[in-house]
């Protein structure tokens, strides 16, 4: 078990609050040990718990049975997305950044392929030039009749 | 999830029953009201059914579901621009209630309003770790950020909450 510093303990309270169940599991044991040994740590924890208690007081309404029915009724009418729809969705993305980056990425692929192909064709054409030159040389040596 | 990917309706019903309450609570905390949360959760499950094939076994189902809900909440915010209630208006809203209940109710509404005043990403980080009982790793996965970024959001969010609540009433937070 690693030791925890006063500074890190304060950070834990600032981030996760005073309830030890919310502290990261890797640091919890060390933080609880530190809490037992330090009265200052205890005071800081109690202060953090004030905000936790307030946050815990926020009420929420449970979902209604009608919502469940709506969800189940709707899913029967919704078709499962096919591969083409999935590809189109993937291609255009879901965020503004993806709307630009994904099509751009897809356009770069044929560009890179074209450059690669172009570089290879250049070597082929050089070979052809050499063959052509050889052919001219041979023709030059042959008789003109 | 694999059964849902194969189009099994019964598996989908089970998934809804298992996660409906949790996701509804999450959407409510993010959006601040249950009616909008209903729409978001309904849309979440429609997406799950339609895009079940996008789920990968390495991803935890609840994390994936929270990511979808979170994205839909963010889209909703951008589309509708949710109106936040100014914390100073809270007293006017609850002034007709009996005095004993009114104080408690006031506190709850003040805290809820303060939470709604946080920036979206800070509020999401806090809601995931506080109300959804997620570990820091799970919450960071939902938001698609690192753990240190999540911790930074939470620390800033808590500081801002304290500040907002202290402006409203010194009694709420005692000596902080």
pLDDT in tens, B149-165: 999 999 999 999 988 88
Give the structural domain span for B20. Answer: 2-173
Domain count, chain B: 1
Q: Tens digits of per-residue pLDDT, B115-129?
A: 888 998 999 999 999
The predicted structure's pLDDT at residue B151: 94
Low-confidence ranges of chain A (pLDDT < 50): none
Residues 6+ apart with CB under 8 A from A97: none
pLDDT category of residue B84 using cuts at 50, 70 and 90: low
Q: What is the pTM of this model?
A: 0.68
pLDDT higher than threshold 60 for residue B89: no
Lowest mean pLDDT among B40-54, B93-107, B159-173: B93-107
Closest A-chain CA to B152 = A15
Lowest mean pLDDT among B6-15, B27-36, B67-76: B6-15
| C-beta atoms of B9 and A75 within 8 A | yes
Residues 6+ apart with CB under 8 A from A3: A30, A34
Residue B26 CA to its chain's centroid (Å): 4
Neighbours of B89 (CB within 10 A): 10
pLDDT higher than threshold 80 for residue B3: no
Q: What percent of chain B is predicted at pLDDT more than 70?
A: 82
Distance separating alpha carbons of residues B122 and B115, to the nearest angstrom: 9
Average pLDDT for B69-93: 66
Count, residues in chain A: 145
The predicted structure's pLDDT at residue B88: 45
Distance separating alpha carbons of residues A83 and A88, to the nearest angstrom: 9
Lowest mean pLDDT among A90-104, B23-37, B79-93: B79-93
| C-beta atoms of A86 and B28 within 8 A | no
pLDDT category of residue B23 using cuts at 50, 70 and 90: very high
Q: Tens digits of per-residue pLDDT, B62-74?
A: 898 999 999 999 8
Closest B-chain CA to A87 = B54
> For residue B23, what is the domain's CATH number?
1.20.140.160
Q: What percent of chain B is predicted at pLDDT more than 90?
A: 32
Enumerate the residues of chain A whose CB falls inside 8 A of the CB of residue B50: 78-81
Of residues B54 and A122, the one with the higher pLDDT is B54
Distance separating alpha carbons of residues B47 and A46, to the nearest angstrom: 43
Enumerate the residues of chain A whose CB falls inside 8 A of the CB of residue B30: none
The predicted structure's pLDDT at residue A82: 64
Helices (H), A1-145: 6-16, 25-37, 39-56, 65-77, 83-92, 96-141
The Cα angle at residue A74 between residues A70 and A80, in degrees rounded to 5: 150
The predicted structure's pLDDT at residue B87: 44
Closest B-chain CA to A66 = B38
Mutate to test the interface with B, among A28, A51, A95 (most CBs of B within 10 A): A51
| C-beta atoms of A54 and B41 within 8 A | no
**Which of B54, B112, B175 is facing A58, going by the closest CB pair?**
B112
């Amino acid at each position: 078990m690693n030791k925890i510093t006063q500074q890190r303990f304060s950070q834990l309270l600032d981030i996760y609050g005073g309830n030890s169940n919310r502290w990261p599991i890797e640091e919890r044991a060390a933080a609880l040990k530190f809490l037992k040994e330090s009265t200052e740590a205890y005071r800081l924890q109690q202060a953090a718990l004030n905000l936790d208690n307030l946050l815990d007081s926020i009420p929420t309404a449970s979902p209604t049975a009608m919502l469940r029915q709506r969800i189940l009724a709707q899913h029967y009418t919704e078709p499962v997305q096919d591969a083409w729809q999935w590809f189109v969705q993937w291609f255009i993305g879901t965020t503004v950044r993806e709307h630009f980056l994904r099509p751009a990425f897809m356009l770069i692929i044929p560009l890179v392929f074209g450059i690669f192909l172009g570089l290879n064709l250049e070597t082929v054409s050089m070979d052809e030039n050499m063959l052509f030159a050889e052919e001219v040389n041979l023709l030059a040596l042959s008789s003109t009749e | 999830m694999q059964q849902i990917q194969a189009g099994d309706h019964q598996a989908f019903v089970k998934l809804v029953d298992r996660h409906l309450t949790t996701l509804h609570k999450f959407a409510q905390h993010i959006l601040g009201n249950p009616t909008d949360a209903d729409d978001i959760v309904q849309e979440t499950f429609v997406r799950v059914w339609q895009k079940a094939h996008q789920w990968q076994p390495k991803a935890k189902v609840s994390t994936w579901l929270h990511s979808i809900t979170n994205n839909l909440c963010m889209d909703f915010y951008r589309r509708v621009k949710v109106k936040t209630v100014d914390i100073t208006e809270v007293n006017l809203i609850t002034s007709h209630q009996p005095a004993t209940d009114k104080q408690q109710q006031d506190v709850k509404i003040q805290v809820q309003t303060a939470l709604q005043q946080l920036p979206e990403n800070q509020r999401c980080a806090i809601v995931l770790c506080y109300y959804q009982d997620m570990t820091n790793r799970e919450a960071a996965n939902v938001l698609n950020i690192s753990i240190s970024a999540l911790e930074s959001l939470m620390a800033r969010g808590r500081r801002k909450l304290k500040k907002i609540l202290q402006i409203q009433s010194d009694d709420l937070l005692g000596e902080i």
